[in-house]
Amino acid sequence: MTKRHHIFISVFTIFFITMSITCHSESIDRQPAHAPVKIRKIEMASPKATRQKQNNEQYNDPMFPETVTLCGEKIPLENRRVWEMLDREFTIAVWNQRQVFLWLKRAARYFPYIEKKLAEAGMPDDLKYLAVAESDLQTAARSPVGALGYWQFMPFTGKRFGLKKRSDMDERLCFEKATGAALQYLKKLEGMFGKWTLALASYNCGERCLQNAMDEQHVKDYFRLNLPVETERFIFRITAIKLILENPQSYGYNINPKHVYQPLKIDILNVNLKRSVSMVDFASALDTDFKVIKELNPHIFGTRLPQGSYQLNVPQGDGVRVASSLKRLTPKAAPRTKKSKTTYYRVKSGDSLGGIATKKGVSVKQLKRLNKLKSSHIEVGQKLRLR
């Protein structure tokens, strides 16, 4: 077969395959309506229609009142810079819908206790918003520099106000203890600086930082001080939170009362354990779960109730059973073995090592070992260890 014949056959083969595919495609197009092949038409919106829809979506700029106070102190909004600082923090907060709803839900759980303690201490109710600014009312909130808990105490500051920090416990995570410490600290700061705005600023940057700034700049007004950026924003953030949480409906936040987080129903006790106790066994003694006791006491680490004195939270109504349960579960101490008292003998004239050993009920070998004697030679006045 010549080369020419090969070319002809190849061309004919390609033509036959192409025709077969075309015929098959046509047969699909001619299938009846009940055939499994479906074609869906997709309609794309025109650019003009898209622009028209976007133009219909309008956003309103929420505005805070013309007169604003924090802890009874008037915010000088007539100062344009002050107004813009508050506007910035307010705008960031009011448009953060997810966070605001969580603030509202958590506030229902934690604010009643804080409000009660502030009233008892004669302190401004607005100070409760500090906890929101610090931690968003989250139990285990932690800053990059090591501040921890609802009130964001640093370890050394917490220790100053009675919060224990050990390998098995950190009371900065105990809501009630930390709240008490925070109020003590704030009262001390207000006494030092004379104004709540300055007290709050020093809570953020530290007493020394604020005092140094006041001394260097000859200014005792927070709104006129040049401070670290975070501290300059701090008071305005607290104020913005106050504005939103005081009147959420004004800014479009409507929450179903059934959706807020209710205060925990607990009994609060102060315990002093001589030895650690299994938290699992303790929970079982109260007819509850380990998880329940663990979550009510985030300040206690591990799986055991540690030795020492501290606050212990249990489900409401179980407080009456705590003492008896702990007494039953606390392991008994092993009996102490009486330690032999070290005694000595002063060598007198006429004494010999053997005679002393016989008189005192010990062996010569023991006397040599205890007193590192190489021989039985002893001298008058020498002090010998007997035991």
The predicted-structure confidence for 226-247, as pLDDT tens digits, reads as follows 999 999 999 999 999 999 999 9
Contact 129, 242 (CB under 8 A): yes
C-alpha 201/C-alpha 198 separation (Å) is: 5
Distinct helix (H) and strand (E) counts, the chain:
15, 10
Residue appearing with tokens 């924090």: 70
Could you report the per-residue pLDDT of 46-79, keeping only the tens digit for each?
A: 555 555 555 556 778 889 999 999 999 999 999 9
**Residue 48's pLDDT is what?**
54
- Split at pLDDT 50, 70, 90, the class of 360 is confident
Domains of the chain, by residue range, sit at: 69-259, 266-329, 351-385
Tell me if residue 108 falls in helix, strand or coil.
Answer: helix
pTM score, whole prediction: 0.72
CA distance to 63, 253, 376, per residue, from 100 (Å): 16, 8, 89
Could you report the per-residue pLDDT of 302-332, keeping only the tens digit for each?
A: 999 999 999 999 999 999 999 999 999 987 6
Q: What is the DSSP string of 330-381?
A: SPPPPPPPPPPPP-EEE--TT--HHHHHHHHT--HHHHHHHHT-SSS---TT
In terms of Cβ atoms closer than 10 Å to its own Cβ (0-12, 13-18, 19+), residue 342 is exposed
Q: What is the mean pLDDT of residues 173-193?
A: 98
What letter would DSSP give residue 244? H
Residue appearing with tokens 């919060």: 163
How is residue 219 written in tokens? 């200014």
More confident residue, 133 or 350: 133
CA-closest candidate to residue 129, choices 169, 90, 76: 90
Poorest-confidence range of 61-75, 116-130, 333-347, 365-379?
A: 333-347
- Fold of the domain spanning 69-259: Lysozyme (1.10.530)
% of the chain beyond a pLDDT of 90: 69
